[in-house]
Amino acid sequence: MPLVPMRQMLDEAKKGQYGVGAFNVNNMEQIQAIMEAARATKSPVIVQASRGARKYSNDQFLYHLMLAAAELYPEIPMALHQDHGNSFETCSSAIELGFTSVMIDGSLEEDGKTPSSFEYNVAVTKKTVEFAHARGVSVEGEIGTLGGIEDGHGAGGTGLENLTDPDQAVEFVEKTGVDALAVAIGTSHGAYKFSKKPTEEVLKMSLIAEVHKRLPTTHLVMHGSSSVPQELREIINQYGGALKPAWGVPVEEIRKGIAHGVRKVNVDTDNRLAITGAIRKVFVESPEKFDPRDYLKPARAAMQAVVEARMNAFGQAGHAGDYEAKTLDEMKAYYK
């Protein structure tokens, strides 16, 4: 299937009352893992690349890998999304390259670190929306500031410093016209989100319900949604790693979010953990091996297992055949 506009995918997810996992990629094996998981579970999927990923893999390599995926998995609707665009230029270059969706993260200034003013966020997001919608491309914005740092992007902190204010969220959506809105509810990027199983004190699921009540037609996005499963951490540590204990976002909490309007769920760390554990295992158990395929194959399989589990949990499994892809031209007409 050709690359699908994310807006269409999230509208469909709303109809079916499920969430769509958005998985980060940097290389071929990660794209293959996601596509195999999508095929096995018959899921639509969002594949996303951060600025760091685009730099690491080179735009053309990444884009052509995605075109290969579209060709090889014609039954799978997939959106190609820019994760955490730090500026209008990052997003416009993604759109010109062929991404069908972009996130403009105006919650931070262009340095990707300093929390910005509401006025700055509205201005840069609106500019991006105008450019994107004129080309049929979907836009995700962010209000409030997520915790942690991902690929050098992020304010750091616990994620509780600048939670989403529901009133401001309404004003932001009205002023910018974003298709999807990332909310800050206490989650953060990375493997160290919470020091114990999170409760409402640190993971403000009630905020999602509150924002959804006021913005029932805006698709909500949960970032920092890795669950950081203990078993994945243990495999890494068993084979020489040194990860400290920590908690992620339990899958049952994400499912509560989906019941309250969350349609896009960002997962990166869990896949990184799965890959690293599988590679470490081969290195320790078979130190004589040196063919990269000997460790990349199990790494790819380990990531696929995580992605499949999330696709099943988020409810997107079984929905790949629900719709035909809209073209960007059709989306352009829709936005007009």
Which residues belong to the active site? 83
In the complex, minimum distance from the CB of residue 296 to ligand 13P, in angstroms, rounded to a whole number? 21
Q: Contact letters (x/-) for ligand 13P, 267-286, by CB under 6 A?
A: xxx-----------------
* Calpha distance 137→131 (Å, rounded): 9
Which parts of 290-309 interact with ligand 13P (CB under 6 A)? none
Q: Give yes or no for a contact between 44 and 316, defined as CB atoms under 8 angstroms apart.
A: yes
Among residues 7, 219, 223, 281, the one that binds ligand 13P under rule CB under 6 A: 223
Please count the other Cβ atoms lying within 10 Å of the Cβ belonging to residue 329: 10
Nearest to 250 by CA among 196, 307, 317: 196
* Calpha distance 49→26 (Å, rounded): 7
Name the residue nearer to ligand 13P (CB basis): 280 or 310: 310
In the complex, minimum distance from the CB of residue 321 to ligand 13P, in angstroms, rounded to a whole number? 27
Binding of ligand 13P at residue 150 (CB under 6 A)? Answer: yes
Interface with ligand 13P (CB under 6 A), residue total 14
Name the residue nearer to ligand 13P (CB basis): 49 or 325: 49
* Calpha distance 245→234 (Å, rounded): 9
Among residues 7, 126, 189, 300, the one that binds ligand 13P under rule CB under 6 A: 189
What six digits make up the tokens of 319? Answer: 């929905």
* Calpha distance 48→80 (Å, rounded): 6
In the complex, minimum distance from the CB of residue 221 to ligand 13P, in angstroms, rounded to a whole number? 9
Binding of ligand 13P at residue 225 (CB under 6 A)? Answer: yes
Among residues 83, 109, 253, 308, the one that binds ligand 13P under rule CB under 6 A: 83
Angle formed at CA 4 by CA 253 and CA 179, multiple of 5 degrees: 55
What six digits make up the tokens of 106? Answer: 């105006």
Name the residue nearer to ligand 13P (CB basis): 91 or 328: 91
Nearest to 185 by CA among 256, 102, 82: 256
Name the residue nearer to ligand 13P (CB basis): 311 or 325: 311
Binding of ligand 13P at residue 164 (CB under 6 A)? Answer: no
In the complex, minimum distance from the CB of residue 268 to ligand 13P, in angstroms, rounded to a whole number? 4
Among residues 92, 226, 304, 316, the one that binds ligand 13P under rule CB under 6 A: 226
Please count the other Cβ atoms lying within 10 Å of the Cβ belonging to residue 6: 31
In the complex, minimum distance from the CB of residue 284 to ligand 13P, in angstroms, rounded to a whole number? 25
Token pair 């909490």 in the structure block, residue: 253
Among residues 266, 276, 304, 316, the one that binds ligand 13P under rule CB under 6 A: 266
Kindly give, in sequence order, each residue whose CB lies less than 8 Å from that of residue 145, ignoring residues fewer than 6 positions away. Answer: 107, 108, 115, 155, 157, 159, 161, 162, 184
- DSSP bridge partners of 143: 183
Among residues 224, 261, 277, 315, the one that binds ligand 13P under rule CB under 6 A: 224
Binding of ligand 13P at residue 26 (CB under 6 A)? Answer: no
Q: Give yes or no for a contact between 230 and 274, defined as CB atoms under 8 angstroms apart.
A: no
* Calpha distance 147→73 (Å, rounded): 35
Binding of ligand 13P at residue 86 (CB under 6 A)? Answer: no
Question: Which residue ranges make up the site for ligand 13P (CB under 6 A)?
Answer: 24, 83-84, 150, 189-190, 223-226, 266-269
